[in-house]
Structure 1
Amino acid sequence: MAVATKNIPAPDLVPIRRALLSVSDKAGLVDFARALFHAGVELVSTGGTARVIAEAGIAVRDVSDLTGFPEIMDGRVKTLHPSVHGALLGIRDDAEHRAAMEAHGIEPIDLVVVNLYPFEEVRRSGASYAATVENIDIGGPAMLRASAKNHAYVAIVTDPEDYAAVLNALDLNAGSLSLDFRKKLAAKAFARTAAYDAAISGWFAEALEIEHPAWRAFGGQLETVMRYGENPHQQAGFYVTGEKRPGVATARQLQGKQLSYNNINDTDAAFELVGEFDPARTAAVAIIKHANPCGVAEGATLRQAYFKALACDPVSAFGGIVALNRILDAEAAEEIVKTFTEVIVAPDATEEAAAIVAAKKNLRLLVTGGLPDPRAAGAMVKSVAGGLLVQGRDGAVVDDLDLKVVTKRAPSDAELADLKFAFRVAKHVKSNAIVYARRLATVGIGAGQMSRVDSSRIAARKAEDAADAAGLSEPLTRGSVVASDAFFPFADGLLAAVEAGATAVIQPGGSVNDKDVIAAADEHGIAMVLTGTRHFRH
């Protein structure tokens, strides 16, 4: 049932005479408090915040003096009191509210400065269950929401980044804050509590292994406003969730112009793919264009892997994203900068490599400090009209699968290595996905087609074009292996791969026509391995 309103108009300017400060993040606190004090604002504060202000020589009143009640239970209870919440929620122009405040000695508070216990940071640190729960703020969100609701009379500040704007507004309005400004602060405050509660509820679902909670919330903090989205007429912003996973959201940008919406999307796809390759075992490079790989390879060095990856589709690689699973070195950097590239992303870069990249002032260089774990759990979210699709991250890795040879001929050791490589890549190609590989490098990729046979043919055609560009007498699909992200519904897709020159195939299996597909493979002397796991990616 909705609460009736008395339709009392909010004043435009509210003089700021009393402020309550209770912050976990003390950044900028002393300077802000001092400026408020010099502006004639009475300061009221709690616990550690009050100590910091007092130690700076600034007059501050303890909240217990306001409430007539001491902080108890290790500070758990200090602001949850009618003298505080009445001061925040009272409608100053309502006679009944004003009479209640006077009758109970409630002094109005005009400005509230609150930021919350660092729950998100504690969660990311891997702290114990008890320690994480203890860092769930209760009084802070209560004051924040109360102040934001009553923004007609109270200004709420929850971000130290806004201190300067508040002081500037006070100066412009002779010690008052405007209604429009208070509304914007309130909107930001409610967004903060929403993201905070989303982090808490998400942690509980994770800790208690609740796969599908009845209510699901996701929150993030604005990292940057993009120039535009996928297209110039679309607005976009980049929000970070705080997930402790190396990648584009946690990377340091060493140089280059601002990342675009498409850059971030493609860089994420590239780095997630290259994370499939253990750097202790091999060097690996992935080149991505429009969220699909156009070349992936392993090598003894990053330079060698890059050459092999680039050879798969040098035309599409122009303007692409290059991801590496090892520290970018000078030799690899020298080769990469020879082709126009939008972004290079790697766990780190040597000083010499960074200097080489710096010669291309617009080329972005990102370092992440590590690789994403392909097996790690996590949620993936996609919006649809009126809802959200939420699923777990695809943590299936080919090395962990029970591979089954179903043809008369088993793959050779070299073919098996290429089959595993190709299936590792196919996991990151949009469906329907077909990947030809030879000597631990992609030689043809077919992505995002409505039929699997079309993907097989497109991949083969790409290989022919690459062979022509390299001056080869035949495409590298001759003698290659092929991976399919899902089963072949009919033998035609397999036969297209055979026609392209593939000698072995890896696929999930599970079609009602598996027997026909296996029979076609046997008829052409093809080795076939089933994984039992598919990798649809839409």
Structure 2
Amino acid sequence: MANLHPVKRALLSVSDKTGLVDFGRALAARGVELLSTGGTAKALREAGLEVKDVSEVTGFPEMMDGRVKTLHPVVHGGLLALRDNENHVGAMQEHGIGEIDLVVVNLYPFEETVAKGAEYDEVIENIDIGGPAMIRSAAKNHGFVSVIVDVEDYTPYLEELEANDGQTTYALRQRFAQTAYARTAAYDTAVSTWMAEAVGGTPRRRTFGGTLTQTLRYGENPHQQAAFYTDGSSRAGVATAQQHQGKELSYNNINDTDAAFELVSEFAPENGPAVAIIKHANPCGVATGATMAEAYNRAFDCDRTSAFGGIIALNQTLDAATAEAITGIFTEVVIAPDADADAIAIFEKKKNLRLLTTGGLADPTTARLAPRQVSGGWLVQDRDIGRISMDDLKVVTKRQPTDQELSDMLFAWTVAKHVKSNAIIYVKDGATVGVGAGQMSRVDSTRIAARKAVDMAEAMGLPAPLTKGSVVASDAFFPFADGLITAAEAGATALIQPGGSMRDDEVIAAADEAGLAMVFTGMRHFRH
């Protein structure tokens, strides 16, 4: 195998015609013979290029609605033959097989077909067979054959030919082969994932795929390498958002922005403005309001200290008044469905502030896989989309909750789903007033959340912490009465929790003794 190998014959068969004609012209100008199929051949001919149909080479027409056209020994023999192997060369000569030095294939738009919600049969028809087969054959024989699967590789390939008098280096062919195998792996992942959802059950094998969107400066810490890959989903969020200003997002920015947007998407825009402020993937303030600016200020008042350098997510369009309020402190990222011109103009004065718009909210009711790598394997589960309504609540105390308490409990319960366990959330009048996250003891989370409320009351000059008259949500049951007693001491008047502890009777008795109202949900929201 020689390092340099000339390119004399290329097979082009692409669904994405971007840059195709210019690339074909550049190859033809170098005397490369062009083989092609279907719409690709038509596009090249209409541009005035001489093209030979693959059917002329194989002696078989395209058949079965195009399902069979390149699956032929003349094609795959031309791709797989080792040019320095006498037996292979002899077989090519005996059977009239010509060498193919370059394959350019991008696959049927399977992912796009799924994303648009196509019916089962249409999705099946968009599973490419011949394309992946040619890609894999060419990639295996990268000692001699080049394979291109991405439009963005047209230019570097032509630069390689220019630099090497119409030849390619082994290093380039090897690099393109790796890209090709990753593409077919991601494609098969998309197909198998879709079929697993369509068929149901637990598949024997799971794969995960993505396309590089951004090489990140580093990961959670500067000594960790990192990159951002997207899975082709059209779901609104950080992966599909438009960035209007500011430097590139970091690993932690992306992680926290996703957490913020997923949380705020729980609050439907038609029910009014809502804002979530996130720090280190945990909410430090969530609130609703009559206006977006009011919702932001109420969320900010939950924990002004932690909000510094945080991520802010809005469920409606960012307006000028809210933008002005946000620029009062340093903020890393703001993400919203949209932003008006005045808000954008205000943010432009803050060059380090990133503004992302998504065009809509994420659907909080759609199950998605949430994989997590562990040593030697993967844990895979559906994302937590559990929800409750008033009808799901079971009052277990002597005192019935008021309507306002019930409303606040449902709000607190929604937030609890997005707080690292053990999670305790104090809420008053549609705003968090204390958040305790990620503690090993539930009572510690209860104390921390209450302590933050005390600190904020002192900083704001309030006569009492906002936990006075609040409700409390716990993401899992109270295993002992001590957490409930701590919440009562902080001024809480009602609690919402899953129930199900061996000591439920003890906890209920403590609530009754303290004059609290308490409801059970029968559902927990662990978030580790």
TM-score for the superposition, normalised by structure 2: 0.99
Could you say which residue in structure 1 is the equivalent of 2:55? Answer: 64
Letter in 1 for 2:139: A
Structure 2 residue corresponding to 1:533, chosen from 501, 523, 528:
523
Could you say which residue in structure 2 is the equivalent of 1:518? Answer: 508
SS at match of 1:398: coil
* CA-CA distance at 1:400 after TM superposition: 7.0
Cα displacement string for residues 36-85 of structure 1 (whole angstroms, at most 9, x for unaligned residues): 01011111111111111111111111111111111111211111000000
Could you say which residue in structure 2 is the equivalent of 1:238? Answer: 228
Could you say which residue in structure 1 is the equivalent of 2:122? Answer: 131
* Inter-partner Cα distance in structure 1 for 2:6 and 2:272: 65
* Inter-partner Cα distance in structure 2 for 1:190 and 1:86: 19
* Inter-partner Cα distance in structure 2 for 1:158 and 1:418: 53
Could you say which residue in structure 2 is the equivalent of 1:417? Answer: 407
* Inter-partner Cα distance in structure 2 for 1:66 and 1:399: 65
Letter in 1 for 2:213: E
Map 1:438-517 → 2, pairs under 5 A:
438-517=428-507
Map 1:17-96 → 2, pairs under 5 A:
17-96=8-87
Structure 2 residue corresponding to 1:430, chosen from 420, 428, 453:
420
* Inter-partner Cα distance in structure 2 for 1:306 and 1:59: 63
SS at match of 1:474: coil
Structure 2: unaligned runs, 5 residues or longer: none
Letter in 1 for 2:186: A
* Inter-partner Cα distance in structure 2 for 1:95 and 1:327: 68
1:253 aligns with 2:248: no
1:276 aligns with 2:277: no
Cα displacement string for residues 219-257 of structure 1 (whole angstroms, at most 9, x for unaligned residues): 111111001100011111100012232110111111111
Cα displacement string for residues 417-444 of structure 1 (whole angstroms, at most 9, x for unaligned residues): 1111111111100000000111111111
Structure 2 residue corresponding to 1:224, chosen from 211, 214, 217:
214
* Inter-partner Cα distance in structure 1 for 2:98 and 2:526: 61
Could you say which residue in structure 2 is the equivalent of 1:318? Answer: 308
Cα displacement string for residues 110-167 of structure 1 (whole angstroms, at most 9, x for unaligned residues): 1111110000000101111111100000000000000000101100011010000000
Cα displacement string for residues 477-504 of structure 1 (whole angstroms, at most 9, x for unaligned residues): 1111110000000001111101111110
Map 1:108-507 → 2, pairs under 5 A:
108-210=99-201, 212-399=202-389, 402-507=392-497
Letter in 2 for 1:44: L
* CA-CA distance at 1:87 after TM superposition: 0.3
Map 1:99-114 → 2, pairs under 5 A:
99-114=90-105
* Inter-partner Cα distance in structure 1 for 2:238 and 2:391: 28
* Inter-partner Cα distance in structure 1 for 2:343 and 2:130: 50
* CA-CA distance at 1:209 after TM superposition: 2.1
SS at match of 2:298: helix
Cα displacement string for residues 250-270 of structure 1 (whole angstroms, at most 9, x for unaligned residues): 111111110000000000000
SS at match of 1:409: coil
* Inter-partner Cα distance in structure 2 for 1:160 and 1:276: 38
* Inter-partner Cα distance in structure 1 for 2:48 and 2:266: 56
* CA-CA distance at 1:514 after TM superposition: 0.4
* Inter-partner Cα distance in structure 2 for 1:87 and 1:518: 77
* CA-CA distance at 1:395 after TM superposition: 1.0
* CA-CA distance at 1:401 after TM superposition: 6.1
Cα displacement string for residues 194-231 of structure 1 (whole angstroms, at most 9, x for unaligned residues): 00000000111111223x10011111111110011000
Cα displacement string for residues 308-350 of structure 1 (whole angstroms, at most 9, x for unaligned residues): 0000000000000000001111111111111110000011111
Letter in 1 for 2:315: N
Whether the aligned pair in 2 keeps the contact of 1:432 and 1:449 (CA below 8 Å) is yes
Counterparts in 2 of 1:400 and 1:95: CA distance versus 1, 3 Å = farther
* CA-CA distance at 1:189 after TM superposition: 0.1
* Inter-partner Cα distance in structure 1 for 2:391 and 2:77: 62
* Inter-partner Cα distance in structure 1 for 2:391 and 2:449: 25
Stretch of structure 1 that moved more, 242-251 or 256-265: 242-251
Structure 1: unaligned runs, 5 residues or longer: 1-9
Letter in 2 for 1:53: L
SS at match of 2:10: strand
* CA-CA distance at 1:411 after TM superposition: 0.7
* Inter-partner Cα distance in structure 2 for 1:136 and 1:375: 28
Letter in 2 for 1:455: S
Query: Which structure 1 residue ranges, 4+ long, deviate > 6 Å from structure 2?
Result: none
SS at match of 2:229: strand
Letter in 2 for 1:174: D
Counterparts in 2 of 1:463 and 1:247: CA distance versus 1, 3 Å = same
* Inter-partner Cα distance in structure 1 for 2:404 and 2:439: 29
Letter in 1 for 2:503: N
Whether the aligned pair in 2 keeps the contact of 1:374 and 1:397 (CA below 8 Å) is no
Query: May I ask how many residue pairs the two structures share in their alignment?
Result: 528
* Inter-partner Cα distance in structure 1 for 2:387 and 2:274: 16
* Inter-partner Cα distance in structure 2 for 1:260 and 1:99: 55
* Inter-partner Cα distance in structure 2 for 1:506 and 1:520: 14
Cα displacement string for residues 429-468 of structure 1 (whole angstroms, at most 9, x for unaligned residues): 0000000111111111000000100000000111111111
* Inter-partner Cα distance in structure 2 for 1:66 and 1:136: 25
* Inter-partner Cα distance in structure 2 for 1:45 and 1:281: 55
Whether the aligned pair in 2 keeps the contact of 1:15 and 1:176 (CA below 8 Å) is yes
Whether the aligned pair in 2 keeps the contact of 1:401 and 1:531 (CA below 8 Å) is no
SS at match of 1:294: strand
SS at match of 2:392: coil
Report sequence identity in percent.
65
* Inter-partner Cα distance in structure 1 for 2:363 and 2:390: 14
TM-score for the superposition, normalised by structure 1: 0.97
Could you say which residue in structure 2 is the equivalent of 1:6? Answer: none
* CA-CA distance at 1:399 after TM superposition: 2.5
